[in-house]
Amino acid sequence: MSSGKLLSGRVALITGGSRGLGRALCEVFAREGASIAFNYASDGKAAEETLAGLDTPNKRAFKCSVLDRPGIEQMVSAIEADLGPIAILVNNAGVTEVMPFAMLEEEDWDEVMDINVKGTYLVTRAVARSMIRRRYGRIVNIGSLAGFKMIDAPVHYCTSKAAIQGFTLALAKELARYEILVNCIAPGLLDEGVGLKLPETKLADYVKHCGLRRPGTCAEIAELAAFVCSERNSYMSGAVLLADGALG
């Protein structure tokens, strides 16, 4: 591996890579020497913008839902045929909606739980099989402060992110025998994504109680993920890394 590049020679698949945190993950991982593949659900223009901003010739985008099992399997096969074996998986794709519990309909609950939890399972299963055969891999699941602490956040979103933590812990234990490290990064409020949907009063309350007095940035979480996925991390697995700026 080239000195100074955390991820040189590795192929990374990042789900939900067309915008927000997913785009930042793609950009940082490419800068650190990885070949990049990502999926997106619908926004082709955003996907093209992400591709254009990546500092690597080895980059691919796939229009594919994380709930499309045959599509996921075809995507993984195409990546490995074109770029090489997937060494890194970041399960970033997710959705939420700010809605009181009493107003949640069954379809609202199902959408968030399906994409955030079942989607993570489907993509991980498709990628982990080849990681097991090669006895190497790095998997990072993007959780949330909302699944870690008792905060004012949508119930179905909090539930889905708590499930991601349980998934991480169980999978880390099972895959350790194959030298596959599985970790979870749980960001606090960021300057993109969910943070953009919050009322001003909730955003101000978060900043008031945050030790650093600001939301985090997608780039800061991406830098942390790059380290966790690198060879410099060789022993940490089954960890839930809370990155919330010292929220009190």
CA 139 to mean position of chain CA atoms:
9
Which of the following is catalytic: 136, 157, 206, 235? 157
Beta bridge partners of 182: 139
Alpha-carbon gap, residue 16 to 26, rounded angstroms: 10
CA distances to 40, 90, 207, 238 from 36, in Å: 13, 11, 34, 24
Task: Tokens for 243, please give them.
Answer: 């990155």
> In the sheet where 11-14 sits, what is the strand order?
59-63, 35-40, 11-14, 86-91, 137-142, 180-187, 240-243
- 157 in active site: yes
Task: Tokens for 198, please give them.
Answer: 């919050």
Segment 72-77 long-range contacts (CB within 8 Å, at least 24 positions apart): 72/39, 72/122, 72/123, 72/126, 73/126, 75/37, 75/39, 76/13, 76/126, 76/127, 76/130
List the catalytic residues.
Answer: 157
